[in-house]
């Protein structure tokens, strides 16, 4: 059976993304405590009608609630772990700059806003590096979506 993950690259006005730290090992998906990542949640077809339900659950569980964002778009699909597909979306955070994000999920803690190059200087989940590489490549193109900058 293939597991589908849904990720969110949530950008602030400075082009940084919201980052979480893994608190538990999950060897089956090559995840170790301490690794950094953009928020990721498993799509659960028994409770999620579609990926928008998974994104709402991701925001609630990993970041502490739904928050104002705009320009939600599909960024891409990756398969970097056997029998796993990760679908990544982008969005622009348009809430208060002093808002506090606190995870309700005991598997992660919120780190905060981090630039993609800085994120890659850390130990990251296996899914993160190819997504960040693609993000940085797209940012270098003049026609890229403003949300990616």
Q: pLDDT tens digits for 68-109?
A: 888 999 999 999 888 889 999 999 999 988 888 999 989 999
In contact, 113 and 94? CB cutoff 8 Å:
no
CA gap 23, 32 in Å, rounded: 8
- Joined together, the tokens standing for residue 121 give 């200087």
What CATH number has the domain bearing residue 138? 3.90.79.10
Q: Which helix (H) or strand (E) is 3 found in, with range? A: strand 3-11
In contact, 15 and 149? CB cutoff 8 Å:
yes
Residue 59: Cβ within 10 Å count: 21
Q: What pLDDT is recorded for position 141?
A: 82
CA gap 111, 101 in Å, rounded: 9
In contact, 68 and 96? CB cutoff 8 Å:
no
The band of 146, judged by pLDDT with boundaries at 50, 70 and 90, is: low
pTM beyond 0.85: yes
Domain that holds residue 49: 3-148
What's the structural domain count of the chain? 1
In contact, 80 and 133? CB cutoff 8 Å:
no
Q: What pLDDT is recorded for position 148?
A: 59
What value does the mean pLDDT of the chain take? 91
The band of 65, judged by pLDDT with boundaries at 50, 70 and 90, is: confident
């Amino acid at each position: 059976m293939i597991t589908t993950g849904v990720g969110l690259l949530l950008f602030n006005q400075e082009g940084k993304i919201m980052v979480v730290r893994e608190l538990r090992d999950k060897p089956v998906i090559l995840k170790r405590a301490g690794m950094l990542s953009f928020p990721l949640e498993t799509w659960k077809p028994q409770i999620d009608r579609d990926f928008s339900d998974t994104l709402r659950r991701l925001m609630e569980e990993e970041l502490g609630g739904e928050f104002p964002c705009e320009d939600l778009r599909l960024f891409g699909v990756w398969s970097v772990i056997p029998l796993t597909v990760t679908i990544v979306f982008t969005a622009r955070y348009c809430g208060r700059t002093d808002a506090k994000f606190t995870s309700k999920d005991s598997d992660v803690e919120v780190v905060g806003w981090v630039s993609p190059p800085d994120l890659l200087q850390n130990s990251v989940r296996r899914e993160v590096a190819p997504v960040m590489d693609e993000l940085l490549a797209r940012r270098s193109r003049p026609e890229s979506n403003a949300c990616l900058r």
